[in-house]
Chains A and B, each alone.
Chain A
Amino acid sequence: MTELTTLLEVKNLKKWYPCRRKNRLFSPGKEWVKAVDGIDLTVNSGEVVGIIGESGCGKSTLARMLIGLEQPTTGEIRYNGRLSTDLIRDDKKGFHRIAQTVFQNPFDTFTPNDRIGSLLMRPLKMHNIGSDSAERRELCLSALEEGGLIPAADFLNRYPHELSGGQLQRISILRSLLLNPAFMVVDEPISMLDVSVRADILAMLLVLCRQKGTGIMFISHDISVIRYVSDRVAVMYLGRIVETGRTDDIILHPRHPYTEALLSNCSTIDPDDQTEVIRIEGEPPSPVGTGPGCFFAERCPKASAHCWRAYPSVTKAGESHEVSCFIYQREQR
């Protein structure tokens, strides 16, 4: 594998959506839904970073900002040291050759009345890859073969509805990879697929990305899948990252009470598994008007009075393992 170089650097990234106040007479001014609220993250080339968190924690908003579908409120996103806003301003098309994405539902990804061939060749044409359509066709054929869709020529003439979900998701991944992106966001790529085909899709994604050195951000609910694919994991809660570290550090030795609870709630397929479930009550609080304290305080089984007063800063809990929780700040003092 090539030397690890920082591919993507995210600094203090925020996305706040304005929303209407309930009582505008007594408290004028805007109120914000803080979907993403200050995220620092790096992704190296050839690395897979997994993002886990409950629904509504801002995972997908983060992903949309990284690929330029959403404008960040503040903060910087740098690809190979260059700001993404500059990249988009200078060459919007070129930006899409750096950052690509694969979406969750392969059945909705493709225009139903185009054949797979034209769907695959369109991005090549738009980016002037290949001199003529015969050459582009060859590129598509070799891509399909790489992805295990054989005989490839057959697939070019088919319509999306003729293919199974697994095949469509493969094509979706291959289409994104045709542009040789340096970075890819993969948002729940296998949750719509049958269990028996999931492993192959993951294997294909990982092999192709290792070959090309693509950095991946892998978003999923399924923590066992995250464990399987990723090198590093970031745990998100209400728009902030509460814990990051190497995959096995996080999954086997979680530090943050939220991560502990999240993991204990994930069952394994071993019926004798005796891990005690840590119950956390209620739903995540609303990301509107979050208080000064730790966002998790009201559901946290280990919260103390201190936790309501300030948001804990990032503390090192081991080599490349960082956690935002007062419990570990006290230990260090």
Chain B
Amino acid sequence: MLLDIRDLNIVYRMRNKAIYAVNNVNFSLEKGKSLGIIGESGSGKSTLAMAILKMHNLKNTEVTGQIIFEGRDLLALDEKQFKEYRWTRIAAVFQKSMNNLSPVHKIGTHFEDIYRVHEPDISSSEIRERVYALFHMVNLSPRVYTCYPHELSGGMLQRVSIALSLIFHPTLLIMDESTTALDVITQGQILEEIKELEKVVDVTRIMITHDLFVVATACQQILVLYAGDMMEYGDVRDVLNHPMHPYTKALIASFPSLRGEKREVHSIPGTLPDLSVKTRGCAFYDRCRAHREICRQEKPVVCQTGGLHTVCCHLYGKIRETDVKEGVNR
């Protein structure tokens, strides 16, 4: 097991209130099985990713639970011990690569800086050689090494970001909305390249996105988050073809189809609940079409429905009523 997250809770403390951003999230990630985390804004997906990289400011953020990476609990490590992990074994690519690169430095300088920190004795020609190899992996020409960020297009900058994250051949790569800002063709190209990349380097991805398309094309497993709660988890094929949670069903129904039968799309009425109030029942309660009284009273328990597929919903929990009218169908 590469990554095992157990009972993860993340709370942002503010002066007079608290935001419960991630509540009781459990999942595990096997080597080579890339995971897509999907959710709307405010669902806690980026908070979760930041916790894996230990990027939270612990002065005002409470992170409890366990994040077990390659057998060690990352949350128990102090900053000095974690340095061995950050970027060398766990790396990340973020959404706006143009904002992550310094506009006054050449692309090559960014790579040199990172190498110099981690391997102080490395020579410039050695760096150059290794960077060219990385560029080759992400389909960039060596010319880019001496370019400034403004000379490159969005897709190329995103490739630079991916190359930067691969410097030390990490085993876990977190991609936070990393293809969202690109247009269709570039996004398609980069997703294909990432999949190809996996054959060359041994890296497992966690892709955070609000776009089901990305998960469907580039991931093997999917985790659906809503308001910081886990809704459904499982194999991409299982979950997208046979969604069980009303939220997942509704989410799929809100995507128009590209090929095949043209179908009606439906949105989910209502808005995200207030995250500063800890709900007693299901977080999706007031937007759910299949809700019942128990959903307001009790948190649904995680329920395994065969294989990896788990769903967190009272419809499948303790009380399983066959006559429950499922409000939302695909």
Residues of A in contact with B (beta carbons under 8 Å apart): 54-55, 164, 166, 194-203, 221-225, 227-228, 248, 251-252, 261-273, 275, 277, 279-280, 283
A residues in contact with B217, CB < 8 Å: 267, 271
Smallest beta-carbon distance A321→chain B, Å:
18
The CA-CA distance from A263 to B184 in the complex, in Å, is 9
30 A-B contact pairs sorted by A residue (CB < 8 Å): A54-B186, A166-B271, A195-B40, A195-B210, A196-B250, A196-B251, A196-B267, A198-B254, A199-B265, A221-B183, A224-B256, A224-B257, A228-B262, A228-B265, A248-B262, A251-B259, A261-B185, A263-B258, A265-B184, A265-B185, A265-B187, A266-B188, A268-B216, A268-B258, A268-B259, A269-B212, A269-B213, A269-B255, A271-B241, A277-B192
A residues in contact with B259, CB < 8 Å: 251-252, 268, 273, 275
B255 touches A224 (CB 8 A): yes
Q: Confirm or deny: B236 has a beta carbon within 8 angstroms of a beta carbon on chain A.
A: yes
Q: A195-B251, A227-B257, A271-B240 are in contact. List 7 more A-B contacts (CB 8 A).
A: A55-B183, A195-B212, A196-B40, A196-B268, A199-B267, A268-B258, A271-B217
A residues in contact with B267, CB < 8 Å: 196-201, 203
A272 touches B251 (CB 8 A): no
B262 touches A199 (CB 8 A): no
Number of interchain pairs (Cβ within 8 Å): 114
B residues in contact with A268, CB < 8 Å: 213, 216, 257-259
A residues in contact with B262, CB < 8 Å: 227-228, 248
The CA-CA distance from A199 to B253 in the complex, in Å, is 9
The CA-CA distance from A228 to B216 in the complex, in Å, is 20
Give the residue name and chain of the A residue nearest to B214 (CB): A267
The CA-CA distance from A26 to B307 in the complex, in Å, is 71
A270 touches B153 (CB 8 A): no
B residues in contact with A203, CB < 8 Å: 267
Contact of A279 among B192, B213, B266, B268 (CB under 8 A): B192
Smallest beta-carbon distance B321→chain A, Å:
26
Contact of A269 among B186, B210, B240, B271 (CB under 8 A): B240
Smallest beta-carbon distance A244→chain B, Å:
19
The CA-CA distance from A228 to B253 in the complex, in Å, is 13
Main secondary structure, interface of B, reads helix
Contact of B254 among A199, A248, A270, A283 (CB under 8 A): A199
A residues in contact with B216, CB < 8 Å: 267-271, 273
B residues in contact with A221, CB < 8 Å: 183-184
The CA-CA distance from A270 to B258 in the complex, in Å, is 10
8 cross-chain pairs, A with B, having the tightest CB-CB distances, nearest first: A265-B188, A199-B267, A228-B256, A196-B268, A200-B267, A199-B265, A267-B217, A224-B258
Interface residues as binary, B286-328 with A (CB distance below 8 Å gives 1, 0 otherwise): 0000000000000000000000000000000000000000000
A262 touches B265 (CB 8 A): no
Smallest beta-carbon distance A166→chain B, Å:
8
B184 touches A262 (CB 8 A): yes
B residues in contact with A264, CB < 8 Å: 188
Smallest beta-carbon distance B168→chain A, Å:
29
The CA-CA distance from A221 to B210 in the complex, in Å, is 16
Q: Confirm or deny: B155 has a beta carbon within 8 angstroms of a beta carbon on chain A.
A: yes
Smallest beta-carbon distance A250→chain B, Å:
12
B residues in contact with A202, CB < 8 Å: 265
